Amino acid sequence: MSINRREWFLSGLAALQAARTSQSRPVLCAFSKHFQWTSGIPEMAEILLTLGYEGVDLTVRPGGHVEPERVEEDLPRTVEMIRKAGLKLPMVTTRIVDARSPGVEPILKTCRALGIPLYRCDNFTYDFNRPLPTQLEDFRARLRELAALNRQYGVCAIYHTHSGPGRVGASMWDLYLLLKDFDTQALAINYDIGHATVEGGYGGWIHSARLLLPMTRGVAVKDFLWRKNDKGAWVPGWRPLGEGMVNFREFFAMLRQSGFAGPIQLHMEYPELGGAARGDRSVDIPRPKLLELMRRDVETLKGWLHEAGLS
């Protein structure tokens, strides 16, 4: 290892240790999926700062800001630009499912070297033709292998809580059973309060939050209302913050009480944002209008976080 490469590696370890020990409050992060229409990382970073973000949850997945097969070449340059702009990078979002996922070790090795402590992993799905208990045992075995790999590289996978049929973790209790015996330095949860409310809009989200917050190292935020789709079925309709049914004030009070100090990622998937909501490479609404809508969400979220004592 050359001197420059050795210094780069050691600086990454120092950053990783600092991220684990010195952070005392949550970091408000942009999900970079919503900014893939920008001309590049420097423009994205400039826009994020003007919107009021503190950090970035960077997409390291097919079609994202960093392609997995180029992670060792492109992620260091990308991280350097983000940090040089004054933004933090506490996590990346990946398509890693288990220890056998394509490209898993280069991604984890590079994250460790760059001092990125967390990566969002992808979800398991249920087979409706097999008993759930049997499948949970299979998933647990795969998570055991992933946890061992995470410990080897000194990083942590955070499992995102989606909603919907077939999603492992949508019910929340299944994710608790899968993760309850693992060290949260290796495997933890990225709790999505929007999806949690989809699955338990009255009291269910309260119980799932109480159950999973001790295992939670990341939080995703979005709002929704039920709507009918073209086939007449009721589905979640994503909305700007404050226009839906998510009880953010109560949730953030619970989050503050739990001592949470991880990244809070703002997801903006409502249709008014056009292609930016989907992660498109171009936008189909005027940029000033797009940035106005995005700024409104950021300011709304920052107001709630301040009210809850999380900022």
pLDDT tens per residue, range 80-138: 999 999 999 999 999 999 999 999 999 999 999 999 999 999 999 999 999 999 999 99
Lookup: tokens for 154: 């000194």
CATH number of the domain encompassing residue 293: 3.20.20.150
- Looking up tokens 């008014």 gives 272
Lookup: tokens for 215: 């295992």
- Domain of residue 113 covers 3-9+27-307
Lookup: tokens for 83: 């940090």
pLDDT reported for residue 118: 98
State mean pLDDT over 221-234: 97
* Number of domains into which the chain is organized: 1
H helices within 40-131, ranges in order?
41-51, 71-84, 104-114
59 burial type by CB count under 10 A (0-12 exposed, 13-18 middle, 19+ buried): buried
Percentage of the chain modeled with pLDDT above 70: 93
19 located within any domain: no
15 located within any domain: no
- Tens-digit pLDDT profile for residues 38-79: 999 999 999 999 999 999 999 999 999 999 999 999 999 999
| Nearest C-alpha neighbor of 212 from the set 194, 196, 236 | 196
64 located within any domain: yes
